[in-house]
A and B are shown apart, each in its own frame.
Chain A
Amino acid sequence: MRSTAALKQQSGKRRIKYTTLLLFVLVIMVIIMTPEITPQDANKLIIGNRLLGPSSEHLLGTDHLGRDLLSRMIAGVRTTVGTSLLILSISMVIGVTLGLLTGFLGGLYDRMFKRIVDAFMTLPDYIFAIVLSGLLGPGFLNLLFAVIAVKWVGYARLVRSTVLQEKEKDYIKLAELAGVPALRIVKKHLLPRVMGNVFVLAALDLGKIILIIASLSYLGLGPQPPTAEWGSMLNEGRVYFNTAPHLMLAPGIAIMITVLIANICGDRLRDKLDVRMKKGA
C-alpha cells in the first residue's frame, strides 16, 4: 500500500524527470539550429551600440563591442555545450574501445595498459588539461584534444574493470566454450553490460567537462575571439561589471543552469541503474 506522500513524491520526481529531458532536447535543438534561431548575427559589431541594457531590440542588451548578447548566448550553447558533448562522445569511444580490447584480451597488453591508465590517474587531470592546452596553444581544436587526453582514461578504466568482472562469469565462459567468435562475445555480451555504467559516468562527467571548458576559455586557452563561448564571454564581461552587470551574469547563470541539468540527469540515471541492478541481483 502506498501512502499519498509517496505518490506525491513519485509524481514530483516524474515531473523533474520530464523537465530535465525536455531541457536536454531543447539544448540539442539549439546546438543544431544555432544560425536559424539567433535573433541577430552573434558576431556583428556595432560600436555605437556598446554596453546597452536590455531592451526590446536586444533582449539581454549588448556587450562591449555592441554585439547582441542574447545571440551570443545562443551561439555559446553550440560552442560550450556542443564542444562538451563532442569531447564526451570521443572520450567515450576511445575509452570504451581500449577498455573492451585490453580487458578482453588480457595478458601483457592488459598489464601495460593498466600501468598507463594508473599513470594517467595519478596525474591531477585538471592541471594536465591546463598545461596541455596551454602548450598546444589556444584554440578550439587544441582545447578539444587536451580535454579528451584527460577524460578518456576514466572510461577505459571503468570498462576494463567491468569486463574483467564479467569475464569471470559463467555465461561468457560458456559462450567461449561454445566457440562463439570473440568479436561477437564482445559485441553481444560485454558491450551491453558495459554501456549502462558508461552512460552514468558520462552523464555525471558532462557537467565537469562544461566547467573545465569554461574555465580554460576563461584563461584564454579556448576558442579565440570573436567566437562566442560562455567562459570567454565571462572574461570579457568582468571589466564592465559595474556598468553592465548582465555581461557577466548571463553567461555565468547559463553555465550554472546547464551544469545543473546535466548533474540532475546524471543522478537520476545512476539511481535508475542502481535500482535495476539491485532488482536484477
Chain B
Amino acid sequence: MLSIHNLIVDSSRDKLVRGISLELQAGGWLALAGESGSGKSLTAASIGGLLSKELKQSGIISWQGTDLADLSPSRKRQFLGKEISYIFQDYQGAFTPFMTIGKQLDEQLLTHTALNRTQRRVLSIEALVNVSLSGERVYGSYPSELSGGQLQRAAIASALILNPALMIADEPTTALDSLTAHKVLTYISKARARRDMSVLWITHDLRHVRRYADHVAIMLKGEIVEQGAVDQVLNAPAHSYTQQLIAAIPPLSPHVPRRLGLPEGVHET
C-alpha cells in the first residue's frame, strides 16, 4: 500500500531524515513515535511533497504502485486532499482565518470533484455532521468562532470528506485536552473501520499508541531504531531508546509500581 524506501531529507546543513524505510498495509494504523526533532513530522510531510523549499528529499515513496516523489506537482495535487489527506497538530492553522469553514470545504470539493454547488454543500454539511458538529452553523462560521476541539473536528471532516485511502495525522491531539483528544482519535478510528482507510499517525505519546495503533515505528535522530507490531515493540522493546521511552510513560493506574522514572537517590519503601 504505502511503502517508503530509503527516504532522506536534507537541509543545507545536515541530514534530518537519514534513509528510513516503512511499510503501511491497507487499513493499517501505523504510529510513528519519537521525541520532537527526531524527523517524524518531516517524514509525514515528505509523503505529500509538503516540505519547505529549503529541504531536499530523496528516496522512493511508493503509493499503490506509483512513486509519489517522482510525480509532477500537478499530479501530486490530485492525490492531496482526496486520496491522501492530512491533519496537523495546530488546529488554529487548519483553516484560513478570513474564509468560512464552508467556503474552504467547498474549495476542496471544487478542486477534486465535478459536483455542482448544491451537491458540494450537501456533502460538506454531511461531513461536518459526521464528526458531530452542527453542520449548518459550522458551515457558515469563521475559524475564530469555533473552539479548539470543534476546529480540529472540522479539520477531520475536511480530511475525510473525499474518503481518502490514507490519512496522515501529524500529532493531531497534542494541542488538545485529553478528553477532546480521545474524541478526535475515536473519530479517526471509526472512519478507518468504516472505509478501510490506512492511518499514519505521528505522535510522541506512547500511551495512546497501544490503544489505537496496530503497528509502531520508533524514530530517533532521523533514523528508525525499531518497528513492528504494537504488542511486540511495547511489550518486548529491543532497542534501549524504546525501553527509555516506555519507561518514561507516567503510570495511569496506582497499582502499577513506579519502578522507573524515579529521581536518583529516592528509594521506594
Contact = CB atoms under 8 A, between A and B. Distances in A.
Q: Do chains A and B touch in the complex (CB under 8 A)?
A: yes
Interface of A: 1, 3
3 contacts: A1-B13, A3-B12, A3-B13
A1 B11 CA distance: 14
A270 B7 CA distance: 42
A192 B218 CA distance: 52
Secondary structure of the B contact surface, majority rule:
loop
Interface in B1-50: 12-13
Contacts of A1: 13
- Size bin of chain B's contact surface: under 10
A3 B12 CA distance: 9
A1 B12 CA distance: 11
A244 B168 CA distance: 71
Nearest to B12: A3
Nearest to A3: B12
A3 B14 CA distance: 11
Considering the complex of A and B, which 3 residue pairs feature the smallest CB-CB distances, nearest first?
A: A3-B12, A1-B13, A3-B13
A3 B13 CA distance: 8
Contacts of A3: 12-13
Contacts of B12: 3
Contacts of B13: 1, 3
A172 to B, nearest CB: 35
B56 to A, nearest CB: 15
Nearest to A5: B12
A1 B13 CA distance: 8
A7 to B, nearest CB: 14
Nearest to B14: A1
A162 B115 CA distance: 56
A1 to B, nearest CB: 7
A8 to B, nearest CB: 14
B265 to A, nearest CB: 36
A29 to B, nearest CB: 44
